[in-house]
Structure 1
Amino acid sequence: MSTSKKAKHTVDKLAGRVKENFGEITGNDRLRAEGKADQVKARVKMSGERLKDAVRGR
């Protein structure tokens, strides 16, 4: 996985965590759910990149 993609996915995951925590603090269920969804999307993207690297033999 390229460093820039890894950094972007990590930032996406952290942004989702921040969004989830902010939603929890404010009692906003929609924001909390969006944050969780953002984290899952980032994890799936990271897993896909790792899988591509494994197939390519890196």
Structure 2
Amino acid sequence: MDIGALSIIMSQSRVQESAGISVMKMAMDTGKETAAQTTEMIKNVAIETNRGQHLDTRA
């Protein structure tokens, strides 16, 4: 294998690796945003203190 072909192969490998890392970072950022939104939504849910106090045993 000549040096030119080896150089091209190595360059393509680096580009593929960089693209994979970029996609992974985007997925991680999306996951963080979703987690933050879910946490905020849970904090804003109104809590009803009367729920679950009584059990209806008649069927």
> What residue number does 2:19 align with?
45
Moved over 6 A (4+): none
Q: Which has the higher helix share?
A: 1
Q: Which of these two proteins has the greater Rg computed from alpha carbons?
A: 2
Take 1:31 and 1:50, find their aligned partners in 2: how far apart are those partners? Answer: 29
- CA displacement at 1:55 relative to structure 2: 0.3
Higher relative contact order (CA 8 A, sep 6+): 1
Secondary structure of 1:57's match? Answer: helix
Task: Let me know the Cα RMSD of the aligned residues.
Answer: 1.3
> What residue number does 1:32 align with?
6
Structure 2 unaligned residues grouped into runs of 5+: 33-59
Structure 1 unaligned residues grouped into runs of 5+: 1-25
Percentage of identical aligned residues: 3
Structure-1-length-normalised TM-score: 0.52
- The alignment of Structure 1 onto Structure 2 pairs a total of residues equal to 32
